[in-house]
Chain A
């Protein structure tokens, strides 16, 4: 099996939030009390109990208004910073499918993933004082996918905005859809996720620029993560080894030249 991807056509999505409900149902996540904030969007943010959510954006263009929907959730980067910084190995990238999963039993709640994700997706449910808790995020329903069925959100979508399958097919399908949208009144239409962060596993067909949806236009792998994991940590290990070896060397030289019977 090759790398898989989810293609979400935001020009088809009607904001019904069936995906949110299906996600909670399959992953056994509790509902959250919602409040009227003057928008249909609810809950207000992703959380430990809400792994996917439709973000509603009202985009005013001249006299007109566009209602933009974006199904937020883990983007399953091809080059995931969270996996690199996770000190427990709870975050893993599936070797063939490319799905980024979080194994809850291994997670110790350090929260590095929440601080290094360029999209700010993982959520930490931890006690501030003791730090005990776990991180949570979308797993692309790995349990369903590896058993030959579709992720819950894809399966449930009544509008047909979701597609799921091999990443090549999803890319081709997404590009074709963008070509359809461009002359059809959406000159800014684009496919998001082909090259970002090593290629995303969650691909979006967008009607407007990504920034209009609140997505970063040019997400970057965090520089500090590279510096930390690939330079500071190996250098630190080397420094400990060098200090210990040097000290042992000094000891063997010193022991030969120092005559303790002459020392008071």
Chain B
């Protein structure tokens, strides 16, 4: 196994070397699942696009179009099978992640409030304590999970129900498949930005690649997970009070 290990960079200290303490975040299986899901999602998005954008019409035509439709179906099997395989391989971890993804608290509201100050203006105190998945990641997961259910149901009905389903129902399936695609792909664009492009999220990408995350990053981004609920709350309240005092002083 590549992951699940704690690697400590020797405490070099001097010479401006940044000390990073690595803590485990994602299991190897979780990462394989995540990237497999990414690859099949993108394959489905790209092969499905030919029936969506009028400018891709030439690709949808004739034999080439048939091949792309076949690839879409093949990718769909992999896309649908992956989560099922993952759940069989790591049932307890999958259940734990699923539970935490669907759990909301008042910190999620605080996260939404702090989104612009934190992500755009790097106001570090605006980050409310977050669990192993922060509000944005949870939102992404919920949208992708529900979207995938819609994809699976509508996709299978369109695949095997053509000519059997009443045409009104078939038409609704086509529409629902498109709507699910629009919603999940917009979510993907935002997820790609925050996970890959955004400079503050560097450790998130590292953890999905190597399974470990920086302890300093975890303290700031996943305080609930790192410190536990009570201490995270204490730190958050103290930070807020300090910030309020600072603002009061500067306004005088």
Tell me the A residues contacting B by CB distance below 8 Å. 87-90, 105-112, 114-116, 120, 124, 128, 130-133, 222, 224-225, 227-228, 232-233, 235-237, 239-240, 243-244, 247, 250-251, 253-255, 257-260, 263-264
Contacts and interface: CB of A to CB of B under 8 A. Distances in A.
Contacts of A124: 162-163
B89 interface: no
Contacts of A120: 167
Contact of B163 (A114, A237, A250, A251): A114
B189 A131 contact: no
A227 B65 CA distance: 24
Nearest to B50: A87
Given A131-B73, A236-B52, A253-B120, 8 more contacts: A88-B57, A105-B61, A110-B60, A132-B66, A133-B66, A228-B174, A232-B182, A258-B200
B121 interface: yes
Given A131-B159, A257-B122, A264 B18 contact: yes
A95 B52 CA distance: 24
A251 B60 contact: no
B89 to A, nearest CB: 28
B182 A236 contact: yes
A105 B197 CA distance: 43
Nearest to A81: B171
Interface in B164-211: 167-168, 170-172, 174-175, 178-179, 181-182, 185-186, 189-190, 192-193, 197-200, 202
Nearest to B74: A130
B181 A257 contact: no
Contact of B69 (A109, A243, A255): A109
B221 to A, nearest CB: 11
A264 B120 contact: no
A56 B92 CA distance: 63
